[in-house]
Copies of this chain bind each other. A is one copy, B any other.
Protein backbone atom coordinates (compact mmCIF):
# COMPACT_ATOMS: atom_id res chain seq x y z
CA UNK A 1 0.00 0.00 0.00
CA UNK A 2 1.25 3.47 -0.84
CA UNK A 3 0.93 6.60 1.26
CA UNK A 4 -1.74 7.90 -1.09
CA UNK A 5 -4.34 5.89 0.77
CA UNK A 6 -3.50 7.33 4.19
CA UNK A 7 -5.55 10.12 5.74
CA UNK A 8 -3.91 11.73 8.80
CA UNK A 9 -6.57 12.96 11.21
CA UNK A 10 -5.60 16.10 13.15
CA UNK A 11 -7.42 19.09 14.60
CA UNK A 12 -9.63 20.11 11.69
CA UNK A 13 -13.40 19.52 11.81
CA UNK A 14 -14.25 15.81 11.25
CA UNK A 15 -16.06 16.55 7.98
CA UNK A 16 -12.85 17.64 6.23
CA UNK A 17 -11.40 14.17 6.85
CA UNK A 18 -14.70 12.51 5.94
CA UNK A 19 -14.52 14.34 2.62
CA UNK A 20 -10.90 13.20 2.07
CA UNK A 21 -11.81 9.55 2.73
CA UNK A 22 -14.98 9.67 0.63
CA UNK A 23 -13.10 11.25 -2.26
CA UNK A 24 -10.47 8.50 -2.16
CA UNK A 25 -13.11 5.77 -2.23
CA UNK A 26 -14.96 7.50 -5.04
CA UNK A 27 -11.82 7.64 -7.20
CA UNK A 28 -11.60 3.86 -7.14
CA UNK A 29 -9.49 3.14 -4.05
CA UNK A 30 -10.70 0.05 -2.19
CA UNK A 31 -8.77 0.71 1.02
CA UNK A 32 -8.23 3.88 3.03
CA UNK A 33 -6.19 4.07 6.24
CA UNK A 34 -7.00 6.63 8.93
CA UNK A 35 -4.11 7.52 11.26
CA UNK A 36 -4.26 9.67 14.37
CA UNK A 37 -2.36 10.44 17.56
CA UNK A 38 -3.35 11.59 21.04
CA UNK A 39 -6.61 13.50 21.33
CA UNK A 40 -7.27 13.21 17.59
CA UNK A 41 -7.92 9.47 18.12
CA UNK A 42 -11.56 10.15 19.06
CA UNK A 43 -11.94 12.20 15.89
CA UNK A 44 -10.52 9.39 13.74
CA UNK A 45 -13.17 7.04 15.14
CA UNK A 46 -15.84 9.69 14.41
CA UNK A 47 -14.59 9.98 10.83
CA UNK A 48 -14.72 6.20 10.30
CA UNK A 49 -18.26 6.03 11.73
CA UNK A 50 -19.55 8.99 9.69
CA UNK A 51 -18.08 7.58 6.45
CA UNK A 52 -19.70 4.19 7.09
CA UNK A 53 -23.07 5.44 8.30
CA UNK A 54 -23.66 8.34 5.94
CA UNK A 55 -21.50 8.24 2.85
CA UNK A 56 -20.09 4.80 1.94
CA UNK A 57 -22.42 2.19 3.49
CA UNK A 58 -20.43 -0.65 1.91
CA UNK A 59 -17.21 0.45 3.65
CA UNK A 60 -16.18 -1.81 6.51
CA UNK A 61 -13.62 -1.54 9.27
CA UNK A 62 -11.04 -4.15 8.23
CA UNK A 63 -8.77 -3.62 11.24
CA UNK A 64 -8.00 -1.27 14.09
CA UNK A 65 -4.59 -1.23 15.70
CA UNK A 66 -3.24 0.93 18.50
CA UNK A 67 0.30 1.74 19.49
CA UNK A 68 2.55 4.08 21.43
CA UNK A 69 4.97 6.64 20.01
CA UNK A 70 7.75 8.40 21.87
CA UNK A 71 7.77 12.09 21.01
CA UNK A 72 10.52 14.49 22.07
CA UNK A 73 9.49 17.24 24.48
CA UNK A 74 10.55 20.88 24.19
CA UNK A 75 11.89 20.74 27.75
CA UNK A 76 13.98 17.68 26.84
CA UNK A 77 13.17 14.04 27.42
CA UNK A 78 10.32 12.27 25.72
CA UNK A 79 6.61 11.84 26.18
CA UNK A 80 4.49 8.85 25.17
CA UNK A 81 1.53 9.34 22.86
CA UNK A 82 -1.02 6.73 21.80
CA UNK A 83 -1.69 6.14 18.13
CA UNK A 84 -4.49 4.50 16.19
CA UNK A 85 -4.70 3.09 12.68
CA UNK A 86 -8.14 2.30 11.25
CA UNK A 87 -8.23 0.43 7.94
CA UNK A 88 -11.46 0.96 5.96
CA UNK A 89 -12.25 -1.33 3.02
CA UNK A 90 -15.07 -1.48 0.54
Residue ranges of A at the interface with B (Cβ–Cβ < 8 Å): 38-42, 45-46, 48-49, 53, 61, 64-68, 80, 82, 84, 86
Contact = CB atoms under 8 A, between A and B. Distances in A.
Contacts of A68: 49, 53
Nearest to A69: B49
- Copy tally for this chain in the complex stands at 2
Contacts of A42: 38-42, 82
Contacts of A64: 64-66
Contacts of A40: 42
B82 A66 contact: no
Contacts of A80: 49, 53
Contacts of A61: 65-66
